[in-house]
Every structure is written in structure tokens, then in C-alpha cells.
Chains A and B, each alone.
Chain A
Amino acid sequence: NAGVTQTPKFQVLKTGQSMTLQCAQDMNHEYMSWYRQDPGMGLRLIHYSVGAGITDQGEVPNGYNVSRSTTEDFPLRLLSAAPSQTSVYFCASSYSPRGGGSGYTFGSGTRLTVV
């Protein structure tokens, strides 16, 4: 089925470890983004990309890196995990930046715990 695929679904890291959260979409969407979801705070934008080779920071980018080598993939890297990065991470894609057309499509999320 067409959509946004995130892996892994669950991950436990030790403080200081690094890892990559994977995100892939098969809808040929140009716009992709990463959000983190924390209780009572809704979702906050970490990084986004408006096309292959183009990425930029969102509102909470510290401690995270991204790259966009293809239209389909948009991995999120945690450089040195900290307990404050314990959260649920969602990848989203859209045909247009403002969510036009069918709006944003979200992956099912990665629940990350840093101990």
C-alpha cells in the first residue's frame, strides 16, 4: 500500500549512542518532514525537506541531522542520544509544502526511549 513507512517501530538507546530512524514514501512527494510528539505538546517540527538534496531545520533541530539523497527517503539521525530525546517520532510527506491536495501523510511512528 502506498504511504509512509517508518522503521524501527520501537527502539531503546543508551545515553550517548547514535542511531538512524528510517523514513520512506512511495507517493513521489517532494515535501517530507520529521516531527516529535511529546505529551501535552502536540507535534513539533524537527527538520524538513522540500526536495532531494534540500533540507533545513525546523523548530527543534538540536541533536538531530537529516539528509535527502532521494525523493523517497528521509532518514533522521540522532548524533548522541540524550534522555530528553525520548519521544515518539513521526515522518510525514506531502505533495505540496502547505499540505495541499490530500494533505500530509504520516508514518506510524517510532517510539524511542533513551536511558
Chain B
Amino acid sequence: AQSVTQPDIHITVSEGASLELRCNYSYGATPYLFWYVQSPGQGLQLLLKYFSGDTLVQGIKGFEAEFKRSQSSFNLRKPSVHWSDAAEYFCAVGVKEYGNKLVFGAGTILRVKS
């Protein structure tokens, strides 16, 4: 069955430090991959997506992610974290089930120390 694993439930980084959030997926076909961010009490905002082509994708707010097929990974990175980046981050894969749906990871809560 398709699944998405985000191994880190919580991550704390200092403001200005670099960030990497891990995501591994299990899906037999070529995946559509997404990263979403959710601020407290808010909906999900799309940060970036990968469908095909260049495996390094750029997103909003200075985020980027790299698709590595051999590792079934789609890790999210940011070179310098800002306090406003504190939120919960969800990795998701689009799968050809249920009319095509998103399978989400359990999320990673990012805390930023000043």
C-alpha cells in the first residue's frame, strides 16, 4: 500500500540555521510529490510540487526539495530558517487510487529558536 513517512515528529532549529525535513514514500509508479505547510488554525498551503523533470524543485518562501528516486525520498530544505517558518509541514504523494488522492505523512512540527 502507498505510504508516506516523515520520521521526525518535531524538529527545533535556531533562527538563521539551515533546515532539512525528511520524507520517504512507498509507491510503485512515478509519484507526484508535494510539500504543504500548515500554520496553527489554518489550512494547508502548497510549498512546492514535483511531477517530472528536474529533480530539484523550488518553492515559495525560499524552500526547495529534491526528489531522489533511488532513495524514494523527497526532502524539504531551506538554507536559513526564519521565525515565521514555525509551522507543521506535510509531505504528500498523489496516487492513482480513489480517483487520485493525496496520501499524507503524519507531519513534522518545526519550532524555531530565536
State the A residues within 8 Å of B (CB): 4, 31, 33, 35, 40-45, 48, 50, 56-59, 90, 92, 97-100, 102-109
Contact = CB atoms under 8 A, between A and B. Distances in A.
A57 B105 CA distance: 20
A17 B4 CA distance: 35
A58 B43 CA distance: 20
A23 to B, nearest CB: 12
Interface of B: 4, 9, 32, 34, 36, 41-46, 49, 51, 90, 92, 94, 96, 98-102, 104-107
A109 B43 contact: yes
A56 B98 contact: yes
A98 B44 contact: no
Nearest to B36: A106
A33 B101 contact: yes
Contacts, number: 74
Nearest to B44: A106
B32 A98 contact: yes
A100 B90 contact: no
21 contacts: A40-B9, A40-B106, A40-B107, A42-B106, A42-B107, A43-B44, A43-B102, A45-B101, A45-B102, A56-B99, A57-B98, A59-B101, A92-B102, A97-B99, A98-B32, A99-B94, A103-B46, A104-B102, A106-B43, A107-B43, A109-B42
Contacts of A99: 32, 34, 49, 94, 100, 102
Contacts of A58: 98, 101
Contacts of A4: 43
B99 A104 contact: no
A108 B51 contact: no
